[in-house]
Amino acid sequence: MRVTSFRRHFKEVTGFSPLAFQRHIRLLEARKLLAGGSTNVSRVAYEVGYKSPSQFSREYKSIFGSAPVADLER
Protein backbone atom coordinates (compact mmCIF):
# COMPACT_ATOMS: atom_id res chain seq x y z
CA MET A 1 0.00 0.00 0.00
CA ARG A 2 1.36 3.40 -0.89
CA VAL A 3 1.87 5.98 1.84
CA THR A 4 -0.69 8.31 0.27
CA SER A 5 -3.28 5.55 0.11
CA PHE A 6 -2.57 4.51 3.70
CA ARG A 7 -3.01 8.07 4.96
CA ARG A 8 -6.28 8.45 3.08
CA HIS A 9 -7.68 5.16 4.43
CA PHE A 10 -6.43 5.91 7.93
CA LYS A 11 -8.19 9.27 7.91
CA GLU A 12 -11.42 7.68 6.63
CA VAL A 13 -11.40 5.22 9.53
CA THR A 14 -10.21 7.44 12.38
CA GLY A 15 -11.06 10.95 11.25
CA PHE A 16 -7.44 11.97 11.87
CA SER A 17 -4.21 11.95 9.91
CA PRO A 18 -1.68 9.48 11.41
CA LEU A 19 0.31 12.26 13.11
CA ALA A 20 -2.80 13.99 14.43
CA PHE A 21 -4.05 10.64 15.76
CA GLN A 22 -0.76 10.04 17.57
CA ARG A 23 -0.88 13.55 19.05
CA HIS A 24 -4.48 13.04 20.18
CA ILE A 25 -3.64 9.71 21.87
CA ARG A 26 -0.69 11.32 23.67
CA LEU A 27 -2.84 14.19 24.90
CA LEU A 28 -5.58 11.84 26.10
CA GLU A 29 -2.97 9.90 28.08
CA ALA A 30 -1.62 13.15 29.50
CA ARG A 31 -5.10 14.19 30.60
CA LYS A 32 -5.52 10.82 32.31
CA LEU A 33 -2.19 11.24 34.12
CA LEU A 34 -3.11 14.76 35.25
CA ALA A 35 -6.48 13.56 36.53
CA GLY A 36 -4.77 10.66 38.29
CA GLY A 37 -2.79 12.95 40.54
CA SER A 38 0.44 13.70 38.71
CA THR A 39 2.02 16.70 40.33
CA ASN A 40 4.14 18.13 37.54
CA VAL A 41 2.99 19.18 34.07
CA SER A 42 6.52 19.03 32.65
CA ARG A 43 6.94 15.46 33.85
CA VAL A 44 3.65 14.48 32.24
CA ALA A 45 4.73 16.13 28.98
CA TYR A 46 7.93 14.08 28.92
CA GLU A 47 6.13 10.88 29.93
CA VAL A 48 3.77 11.06 26.97
CA GLY A 49 6.55 11.81 24.50
CA TYR A 50 6.88 15.57 24.22
CA LYS A 51 10.34 17.10 24.25
CA SER A 52 9.07 20.59 24.98
CA PRO A 53 6.66 21.33 27.84
CA SER A 54 5.65 24.59 26.16
CA GLN A 55 4.67 22.77 22.95
CA PHE A 56 2.78 20.24 25.07
CA SER A 57 0.89 23.04 26.83
CA ARG A 58 -0.04 24.73 23.54
CA GLU A 59 -1.34 21.54 21.97
CA TYR A 60 -3.14 20.50 25.17
CA LYS A 61 -4.93 23.84 25.34
CA SER A 62 -5.88 23.73 21.66
CA ILE A 63 -7.48 20.28 22.07
CA PHE A 64 -9.10 20.57 25.51
CA GLY A 65 -9.68 24.31 25.78
CA SER A 66 -7.79 24.83 29.02
CA ALA A 67 -4.16 24.71 30.06
CA PRO A 68 -2.85 21.51 31.62
CA VAL A 69 -2.11 23.43 34.83
CA ALA A 70 -5.82 24.27 35.14
CA ASP A 71 -6.76 20.61 34.75
CA LEU A 72 -4.07 19.64 37.26
CA GLU A 73 -5.58 22.01 39.84
CA ARG A 74 -9.08 20.59 39.42
Residues whose CB is less than 8 angstroms from the CB of residue 16 and which lie 6 or more positions away in sequence, other chains included: 10, 24
- Asked, for residue 40, whether it belongs to a domain, the answer is yes
Question: Which pTM value belongs to this model?
Answer: 0.84
Angle at 58 between CA 57 and CA 61, to 5 degrees: 80
Query: pLDDT, tens digit, for every residue of 33-65?
Result: 998 877 789 999 999 999 999 999 999 999 999
**What average pLDDT is seen over the chain?**
92
- Amino acid at residue number 64: F
- Judged against a pLDDT cut of 80, whether residue 74 lies above it is answered with no
Report the pLDDT value the prediction gives residue 59, as an integer from 0 to 100: 96
- Asked, for residue 1, whether it belongs to a domain, the answer is no
53: domain range? 19-73
Report the pLDDT value the prediction gives residue 13, as an integer from 0 to 100: 95
Residues whose CB is less than 8 angstroms from the CB of residue 69 and which lie 6 or more positions away in sequence, other chains included: 41, 57
CATH of the domain at 23: 1.10.10.60
- Asked, for residue 12, whether it belongs to a domain, the answer is no
Count of structural domains, the chain: 1
- Asked, for residue 13, whether it belongs to a domain, the answer is no
